[in-house]
């Protein structure tokens, strides 16, 4: 495989690692938000449930990057890059939607992880619309064949 094609595999693998790190930060941010929340009203309980859902979604986001067959077969829209990108953007928007919590550290982690999830989601949508998933699979197949020789 020439250098003209290996840049894309490098970019994709870097994006996967960044997405896993972003998912971890989404989990951390939402756990920190959960700790600060007081479910003393219906709104507080709803906010608590949203954070729990977002933690679950961030775990799913992370598992998708490991190409887990069961998850990708069960939740079909995550197997295609535009669907995965929309899901990442949704997770980022959910995290950003929690509002300001008064704790500056929590707000910074929440804002950075939310915006990064949106950015990675946009990249996945763009790459998916450009049909780069099939190109990536072809490049990985060539790389496997080259490494087996």
Q: How do residues 23-51 score in pLDDT, each as one tens digit? A: 999 999 889 888 887 778 777 788 888 88
Which residue carries 């989404």 as its tokens? 26
Please tell me whether residue 130 adopts helix, strand or coil conformation.
coil
Whether domain 3-144 has CATH 1.20.120: yes
Query: Domain residues of the chain, as ranges?
Result: 3-144
Alpha-carbon distance of 122 to 69, in angstroms, equals: 23
pLDDT band at 62 (very low <50, low <70, confident <90, very high): very high
Answer yes or no: is pLDDT of 53 > 90: yes
Instruction: Give the other-Cβ count within 10 Å of 7's Cβ.
Output: 10
Which of 22-26, 79-83, 138-142 has the lowest average pLDDT? 138-142
Greater confidence (113 vs 149) lies with 113
Answer yes or no: is pLDDT of 4 > 80: no
Instruction: Give the other-Cβ count within 10 Å of 69's Cβ.
Output: 9
User: Global pTM?
Assistant: 0.85
pLDDT band at 14 (very low <50, low <70, confident <90, very high): very high
């Amino acid at each position: 495989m020439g250098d003209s094609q290996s840049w894309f595999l490098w970019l994709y693998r870097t994006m996967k690692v960044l997405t896993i790190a972003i998912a971890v930060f989404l989990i951390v941010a939402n756990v920190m938000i959960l700790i600060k929340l007081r479910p003393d009203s219906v709104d507080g309980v709803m906010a608590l449930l949203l954070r729990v859902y977002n933690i679950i979604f961030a775990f799913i986001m992370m598992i998708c990057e490991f190409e887990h067959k069961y998850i990708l077969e069960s939740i079909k829209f995550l197997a295609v890059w535009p669907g995965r990108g929309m899901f990442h953007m949704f997770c980022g928007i959910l995290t950003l939607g929690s509002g300001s919590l008064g704790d500056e550290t929590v707000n910074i982690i929440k804002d950075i992880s939310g915006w990064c999830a949106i950015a990675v989601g946009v990249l996945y949508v763009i790459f998916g619309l450009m049909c780069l998933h099939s190109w990536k699979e072809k490049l990985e197949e060539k790389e496997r064949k080259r490494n087996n020789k």
